[in-house]
Chain A
């Protein structure tokens, strides 16, 4: 059905989106790359209008040779992986559960997806102050009730705490997509398997999971994009202390706290490279699934 005319029309219709995104990608990217080769210390009075000194690859070398760089990369990956594992595995279970007939199904679904509507800043503030605070937090009261010493969550277990907060926010998203996928599952096939006496685990492993494969890859892809740039949750809770500094946070410290835009921009370029490594890896998988 693709005639020549409709092809050029199609190109025309795609143009606004493509051009806009091209601009949104290229303009900041070019400026970031430009700054990354410059000495740009705004608080020392450097202004881009007055011209900036060229420093070659100094910023790049300095950013990676900093003792904070590799731990930050590692922390980033731990947070992304941790949240993915939790949200996907719990998401599958929850989706299966929510698909079962029950009383008040609508309300339960609302309860489960509610965290998705909460702004990251708010959820970080609530978790930090009202749950994880070692003196007045609800967890501390709970621990004390059972005679245990209250845990200082954000310092003693900073990464698990942050992973918990972020997972809480993203679990609804995973559940929603997986639930939609489960609803499209052919129930007759399941019933037939049940009749044949296939045990529940093998039914899950042979029918449900393969069916969900595509949905799971999509959950992973989209969440990864958002998780790589997790920021508010760390800014509010630990401020990057106690080993919770991600690559994004390290760049924030370089650009805004240290006011070294050149160095931060070099970090930004590294972050883009890291994101793309992850992305290519992911898209290989998703691309295959996306074809059909």
Chain B
């Protein structure tokens, strides 16, 4: 091949790509950015049914959680207009809604029955009383434990355990020779990983992120108690290298029968009781997240929800998709094909009133956990922010991801709990000053 023809071919190729990008726009196509969680991937599998019924084609951009956050945040803050629907959480929704970046979901049809959404969910996904994102599934956190190991240890899990009980039970269940850890908890850095667990846990120990004047509170005794208790518990009864374990790592461990207890997202209940993936499926029990007798439990509240960015050209089509994906009918569709245990949980009241769903072993505990979480009033002492395992201010994600890195370093033994807390205090104070509080 001569250079000339190579050059021509290259030019043609470049031009062809330039033009092909702007072609084909006859039928509406919506682009949806979503997270690669099991329920979302299942939803992708049913996309064809939606397209058939509505004539709207769907393009999926499925990304891992951290990449997704970074991607959609850049796009929404710059008004990039790359997505017609974004999958976001309870943290983002009120902040973005406040900035006017999301289309208010006030035109939903009657058959959608917006009042059926669990109040905790619609409350967390609203700003100033306007719903800005529709919950695809909602979760709190609870204890999942091995009934067989609990029995072997000669103990019985109360419905509402305390942290002291958890510590004793974990110690009793631990059997290092057989690779059984009494308890598995998230220690991984990241505000949505270990950060979420320790923040929810700190609420039950009477700690808080900020006082009412937005001063960081890591120099308080309550935080020292939280972190010390966590580290002592995990060092004594947790798996090796827990400082890098997140949701997924712990899920694998639990499914392999290497954990006695696991306090994590309620949605995990359907994974650990699924015999296809879990070796311990028939011996899992559930209980509410523990407390320390101060009136708050260590459970969080979260929803993955679908929202429409204000810059979209496909508002109506996007609205139709959201109505379809978060409807009662979609739940029925999944139940019919994959069983009630696999429907997206935690979003609708009617699901928990359904007698079929009530037979699912974790249904009632999931609902109870969701109902005991109170984002408006998350801590023992009053706070100026909304959110249980986060504070719904724009600066929180950045601060909390750095703070949780310091905590993880303490879990790994690279610094003491005191050093980690002192650094956390500095990081938070610094960042809040930079943001002009």
Query: Which residue numbers of A lie inside 8 Å of B, CB to CB?
Result: 39, 41-45, 47, 62, 66-68, 133-136, 149-150, 152, 154-156, 235, 238-243, 245, 253-254, 256-260, 263
Nearest neighbor of A59 in chain B, beta-carbon distance: B434
User: In chain A, what residue has the closest Cβ to B190?
Assistant: A239
Q: Confirm or deny: B401 has a beta carbon within 8 angstroms of a beta carbon on chain A.
A: yes
Q: Is B159 an interface residue (CB 8 A)?
A: no
Chain B residues in 8 Å Cβ range of A154: 244
Instruction: Check A66/B430 contact, CB under 8 A, given A43-B95, A135-B253, A240-B405.
Output: yes
Chain A residues with CB under 8 Å of B408's CB are 155, 241-242
Is B249 an interface residue, CB under 8 A from the partner? yes
Docked complex Cα distance between A241 and B431 (Å):
18
Interface band, chain B: 35 or more
Contact A258 B249 (CB under 8 A): no
Q: Is the CB of A260 within 8 A of B434?
A: yes
Query: A256 with B189: in contact, given A152-B243, A243-B409, A263-B434 (CB under 8 Å)?
Result: no
Q: Which residues of B contact A62 (CB under 8 A)?
A: 430, 434
Kindly list chain B residues whose C-beta atoms are within 8 Å of the C-beta of A259. 73, 77, 394-395, 397-398
The residues of B that contact A239 with a CB separation of less than 8 Å are 66, 189-190, 401, 405
Q: Which residue of B lies closest to A258 (CB)?
A: B398
In the complex, the answer to whether A152 meets B241 with C-beta atoms within 8 Å is yes
A-B contact pairs, 25 of them (CB 8 A): A41-B394, A43-B395, A45-B99, A62-B430, A67-B426, A67-B430, A68-B402, A134-B241, A155-B241, A155-B408, A155-B412, A235-B66, A239-B401, A241-B404, A242-B243, A242-B405, A243-B414, A256-B70, A256-B74, A258-B431, A259-B77, A259-B394, A260-B398, A260-B435, A263-B434
Whether the Cβ atoms of B239 and A42 lie closer than 8 Å is no
Chain A residues whose C-beta falls within 8 Å of the C-beta of B78 in the assembled complex = 42
Q: How far is the CA of A243 from the CA of B405 in the complex (A)?
A: 9
Residues in A whose Cβ lies below 8 Å from that of B401: 239, 253, 257
| Contact yes or no, A150 B240, CB < 8 A | yes
CA distance A44 to B96 in the complex (A): 9
Chain B nearest CB from A55 CB (Å) reads 10
Interface pair B412/A152, CB less than 8 Å apart: yes
Check B426–A254 contact: CB distance below 8 A. Answer: no
CA gap between A203 and B47 in the complex, in Å: 68
What does the 1/0 interface line of B259-298 toward A look like (CB < 8 Å)? 0000000000000000000000000000000000000000
State whether A241 and B398 are in contact (beta carbons under 8 Å apart), knowing that A135-B258, A136-B252 are contacts in the complex.
no
Q: Does B423 have its Cβ within 8 Å of any Cβ on chain A?
A: yes
Q: Lowest 9 CB-CB distances: which A-B pairs, in order?
A: A258-B398, A152-B241, A43-B394, A42-B77, A134-B241, A241-B189, A155-B412, A241-B405, A257-B398
Residues of chain A with a CB closer than 8 A to B411's CB? 155
- Which one of A42, A43, A154, A245 has the highest number of Cβ atoms from chain B below 10 Å of its Cβ? A43
Known A-B contacts A239-B189, A241-B189; A155 and B394 likewise in contact (beta carbons under 8 Å): no
Bound together, the chains give a CA A47 to CA B189 distance in angstroms of 31
**A interface SS class:** loop
- Of the candidates A39, A135, A245, the one whose C-beta lies within 8 Å of that of B240 is A135
With A and B bound together, what is the CA distance between A283 and B161 in angstroms? Answer: 65
Measured between beta carbons, the chain A residues less than 8 angstroms from B79 are: 47
Q: How far is the CA of A149 from the CA of B423 in the complex (A)?
A: 31
Q: Tell me which of A42, A136, A245 has the highest count of chain B C-beta atoms within 10 A of its own C-beta.
A: A42
Question: How many angstroms between the C-alpha atoms of A127 and B388 in the bound complex?
Answer: 35
B397 and A134: CB pair below 8 A? Answer: no
The interface residues of chain A lying within 8 Å CB-to-CB of B77 are 42-43, 259
Query: Which residues on the B side are within 8 Å of A155 (C-beta)?
Result: 241, 243-244, 408-409, 411-412, 414
Nearest CB in chain B to that of A136: its residue: B252
B236 interfacial contact with A, CB 8 Å: no
16 further A-B pairs in the complex, CB-CB below 8 A; given A149-B240, A238-B244, A242-B405: A62-B434, A67-B426, A68-B402, A134-B239, A135-B239, A135-B252, A136-B252, A152-B240, A152-B243, A152-B412, A239-B66, A239-B405, A241-B409, A245-B405, A258-B395, A258-B398
State whether the Cβ of B103 lies closer than 8 Å to any Cβ in chain A.
Answer: no
Residues of A within 8 A of B402 (CB): 68, 253, 257
Complex: A277 Cα to B131 Cα, angstroms? 52
Interface contact A135-B414, CB-CB below 8 Å: no
* Max chain B Cβ within 10 angstroms of own Cβ: one of A41, A154, A259: A259
Contact between B244 and A134 (Cβ–Cβ < 8 Å)? yes
Bound CA span A260–B249, Å: 31
B57 contacts chain A at the CB level, 8 A cutoff: no
Contact A44 B394 (CB under 8 A): yes
B224 beta carbon closer than 8 Å to chain A: no
A39, closest chain B residue (CB)? B436
- Bound CA span A254–B434, Å: 11
Complex CA–CA separation, A47 to B70 (angstroms): 18
A258 and B399 within 8 A (CB): yes
B56 at the interface (CB under 8 A from A): no
Q: Is B172 an interface residue (CB 8 A)?
A: no
The residues in B between 54 and 69 inclusive whose CB is less than 8 angstroms from any CB of A are: 66
CB-contact partner of B241 in A47, A135, A238, A245, under 8 A: A135
Q: In the complex, what residue of chain A is closest to B435 when comparing beta carbons?
A: A41
CA of A210 to CA of B430, assembled, Å: 51
Cβ–Cβ < 8 Å partners of A135 in chain B: 239-241, 249, 252-253, 258
A238: which B residues are within 8 A, CB to CB? 189, 244
The CA-CA distance from A238 to B240 in the complex, in Å, is 16
B230 CB to closest chain A CB (Å) equals 16
Bound: A264/B99 CA distance, A: 22
Interface flags for B419-432 (1: CB within 8 Å of A; 0: not) read 00001001100110
- Which residues from A are CB-within-8-Å of B434? 62, 260, 263
